Amino acid sequence: MSERACKRILGIETSCDETAAAIIEHYELGKAKILANIVRTQTKEHSEYGGVVPELAARSHIIHIEQIVKRAFRQAELGLQNIDHIGVSAGPGLIGGLLVGLTFAKGLSAANKKPFIAINHLEAHILSARINERVDFPYLVLLVSGGHSQFVLVKNIGSYQILGTTIDDALGEAFDKVGKMLGLSMPGGPMVEKMALKGDAKRFNFPRPLLREKNLNFSFSGLKTAVRLAAEKIAPLKRQDIYDICASFSLAISDIVSQRADRAIVKFNEIFPSVKCQLVVAGGVAANKQIAKSLAKIADFRGAKLIVPPMELCTDNGAMVAFAAGERAIFGISNNLDFAAKARWPLDSEDMVINYGI
């Protein structure tokens, strides 16, 4: 181990359609500095198919991973010899892509005798708010990405309780599918948001599924079907029709998300009556300004603090993976090189738990 007061960590991310690598300095729990954070997105490669093609994603990761990692080292002005730990997303995600990052990280680890840490990609997302800002445990996370929509109670590192999740599509996926339906380019989320700005949100009264349910789950497939039916009814669509559908859909989404967030904050306050609720929004959909605005309103109403990390930390990146590895390394955690990639890896699974007695 080095004599430095910090650990330098390489983080690698290949779980979906971003090939990413970052190098951070990790000083202590919740304290780190990003030295390099390189992300190569594959959006263009998948756009003609209207969604991420797993096999293409894996091949593209293979082609680019080495260059991305090298660029991270160049930007940080460091070499492998300066690194203390190697962290990599080992799941959940597309298995082919995960295998690329995992195999690459294991190779570097074995050849350079650097401890290897397998990171749960979702853990990386929910801890990422702590890189730039002080966020104390416990806190509440709304994780909304292309693959996930869930409320997570973050009690400590490795101690996560899922308060609610989607019973069908993820929120980003719903945006992407609506975008595709309307012939917009990929990824659908940012395009739908852009189109919505010019539309009349009151023209279509789309359903708000599950709003009367007491739990914290989401469901977006009924809403998606309603959008499709409305679009089919008025086809062929003119520009203004597309704007209006996007605006009405976005309003339905922000109503749903803010109502669920309201309930989640109430739940947090019941569990931790003497703790001011911090609501962190993580995942790519956190970029949506309308959603962020409606969440800010709810947080304000409930006396909670809303934290939206900078966009480059919300979407898939290597810095969040390196940071999660740094936090875990503090507890002496590393993994064997036979650690297998996991397509599914719930945050509340047993192998996430840290034995704080170590």
**Residue ranges binding ligand KG4 (CB under 6 A):** 16, 145-147, 172-173, 175-176, 187-190, 193, 283-285, 287-288, 315-316
Q: Where are the beta strands (DSSP E) in 242-351?
A: 278-282, 305-307
Binding string to Zn ion for residues 117 to 146, with x set by CB under 5 A, is what?
A: ----------------------------x-
Residue 283 CB, nearest approach to Zn ion (Å): 6
Residue 174's nearest CA partner among 253, 232, 120, 113 is 253
CA angle 336, 341, 345 (to 5 degrees): 105
Residue 260 CB, nearest approach to ligand KG4 (Å): 16
Which helix (H) or strand (E) segment is 87 a member of?
strand 85-91
Binding string to Zn ion for residues 285 to 324, with x set by CB under 5 A, is what?
A: -------------------------------x--------
Q: Toward ligand KG4, which CB reaches closer, 173 or 262?
A: 173
Among Zn ion, ligand KG4, none, the one that 126 touches (CB under a kind-dependent 5 to 8 A) is: none
d(CA 46, CA 43): 6
State whether residue 218 is helix, strand or coil: strand
Does residue 138 have a cis peptide bond before it, meaning omega lies within 30 degrees of 0?
A: yes
Q: Toward ligand KG4, which CB reaches closer, 188 or 318?
A: 188
Q: Toward Zn ion, which CB reaches closer, 173 or 316?
A: 316
Residue 247 CB, nearest approach to ligand KG4 (Å): 13
Residue 228 CB, nearest approach to ligand KG4 (Å): 18
Q: Toward ligand KG4, which CB reaches closer, 277 or 321?
A: 321
* Strands 149-156, 159-165: pairing kind: antiparallel
Cα distances (Å, whole numbers) of residue 19 to 72, 74, 88: 12, 17, 11
CB neighbour burial string for 169-206, b if at least 16 within 10 angstroms, e if fewer: bbbbbbbbbbbbbbebebbbbbbbbebbeebebeebeb
Q: Toward ligand KG4, which CB reaches closer, 146 or 326?
A: 146
Residue 230 CB, nearest approach to ligand KG4 (Å): 19
Residue 145 CB, nearest approach to Zn ion (Å): 5
Among Zn ion, ligand KG4, none, the one that 309 touches (CB under a kind-dependent 5 to 8 A) is: none
Q: Toward ligand KG4, which CB reaches closer, 32 or 57?
A: 57
Among Zn ion, ligand KG4, none, the one that 241 touches (CB under a kind-dependent 5 to 8 A) is: none
Q: Which residues contact 160 (CB under 8 A, 6 or more apart)?
A: 123, 126, 152, 153, 154, 347, 348, 352
Return the sign of the alpha-carbon dihedral for residues 141, 143, 144, 150.
negative
d(CA 118, CA 152): 20
Among Zn ion, ligand KG4, none, the one that 176 touches (CB under a kind-dependent 5 to 8 A) is: ligand KG4
Q: Which residues contact 351 (CB under 8 A, 6 or more apart)?
A: none
Among Zn ion, ligand KG4, none, the one that 190 touches (CB under a kind-dependent 5 to 8 A) is: ligand KG4
Residue 281 CB, nearest approach to Zn ion (Å): 13
Query: How many Cβ atoms sit within 10 Å of the Cβ of residue 260?
Result: 23
d(CA 55, CA 100): 12
Among Zn ion, ligand KG4, none, the one that 175 touches (CB under a kind-dependent 5 to 8 A) is: ligand KG4
Q: Toward Zn ion, which CB reaches closer, 295 or 314?
A: 314
Residue 122 CB, nearest approach to ligand KG4 (Å): 9
Q: Toward Zn ion, which CB reaches closer, 248 or 315?
A: 315
List interacting residues with Zn ion (CB under 5 A): 145, 316
